[in-house]
Chains A and B, each alone.
With several copies, the nearest count.
Chain A
Amino acid sequence: MNEPVLHRVGDKLPLLLQSGEHDLCPGCGEPVALRILLETIAELGMAASTVGVVGIGCYTVFSRTLDVDLVQALHGRAPSVATGVKRMLPDKTVFTLQGDGDMVNEGLQEVLHTAARGENVTCVLLNNGVFGETGGHMTATSVIGQRTKTSLEGRDADYHGYPIVIGDLIARLEGAAYVGRGSVQSAGAVARTKRMMRKAFETQRAAKGFSLVEVLTMCPTGWFVPTAEGPSYMGETLAQVHMMGELKAR
């Protein structure tokens, strides 16, 4: 019998990444979500016709390595920038890459208006319930009881207010055609999230309107947990409120 043949079934780097090196923390969920995004773009054959708009957060470091034409937006402003790009390039695929601080704090208005307008772009939210980049402070998506630098004892509704469950909120807007929330908690979650990512971009390609993929990502640094406990801490906190699933599909 001849030797068995090896087939590569998983590249080290997704097609659209110039390098896998980055200085995000160990156990960070953001690069995992990034792979999902890039693989989807490549698999849908959109590599050469995509423009991305990147917000400001830890993920901003990927601006240097994403092999996609990019516009670096200011903190919170990516959906409007994406609108301008899409209006001038209606045949291209346009996405944003934002964090919860970027999208739900500083830029809440931008994403809601973009969604209500039914703008035919795809926003990708990396939701870790903290401003990772500034050192792990509470954001508008941090859930009650969640530990952050500004809520070391856990977020307290009376003192800090309540989280905004952004995916659900956006799903209520008529202009939103697709909303899905996944996570990178496990390989299974990654696979499910990837299906959502694909649907979101297909929604854009079918010109059905606004799409959002929210990905819950681990931030062991901001949550003050060991990297290995990131996924389970997410499951006990963020994922209890920002519940996973397809929230809207048109």
Chain B
Amino acid sequence: MAHGAGVSETVLVRGTVRIDTEACKGCDLCIPACPPEVLVMSTDVNQTGYRYPELLAGCTGCRACLDVCPDFCFEVFKYDRPIEVAVERR
């Protein structure tokens, strides 16, 4: 990659989610549902053997993930005002 790893950037974050990773059955449905594409599947598996979503920075609190998840894994929050978060450049 042109830009070396470890270069830090700022992302605007309006919300966040709490994910019940143990309830997750790894169906992947939340991944494409997230408009800012801040959910990615884990490489690890949970106790039942499923991979689960992990949150990157940039959640908008839109609750799309919650709305499409068949296993009630998401709790969604919004900040009263956006915050900036520094992230490692991907």
Contacts and interface: CB of A to CB of B under 8 A. Distances in A.
**A/B touching: CB–CB < 8 A:** yes
Interface of A: 4-13, 17, 20-22, 24-32, 35, 184, 186-187, 190-191, 220, 226-228, 230-231
B9 interface: no
A5 B26 contact: no
B76 to A, nearest CB: 3
Chain B contact-residue range equals 35 or more
A24 B70 CA distance: 9
Interface of B: 15-16, 18, 20, 23, 25-29, 31-33, 35, 50, 61-83
Given A9-B61, A10-B63, A10-B75, A28 B70 contact: yes
A8 B18 CA distance: 10
Contacts of A191: 67
Nearest to A228: B28
B23 to A, nearest CB: 6
Contacts, number: 104
B70 A32 contact: yes
A31 B64 contact: no
A12 B20 CA distance: 9
Contacts of A220: 27
A99 to B, nearest CB: 15
A7 B63 CA distance: 12
A4 B83 contact: yes
A7 B77 contact: yes
Contacts of B76: 8-10
Give 3 closest A-B pairs by Cβ, nearest first: A20-B72, A10-B76, A187-B64
B70 A190 contact: no
A26 B72 contact: no
18 contacts: A4-B80, A6-B77, A8-B76, A9-B77, A12-B66, A12-B73, A12-B74, A24-B70, A27-B70, A28-B70, A29-B70, A31-B70, A31-B71, A32-B68, A186-B32, A187-B65, A231-B29, A231-B32
Q: Tell me which of B16, B23, B82 has the highest count of chain A C-beta atoms within 10 A of its own C-beta.
A: B23
Given A31-B72, A32-B67, A228-B32, 13 more contacts: A6-B77, A7-B77, A7-B78, A9-B63, A10-B63, A10-B74, A26-B71, A186-B33, A187-B64, A226-B28, A227-B28, A227-B29, A231-B29
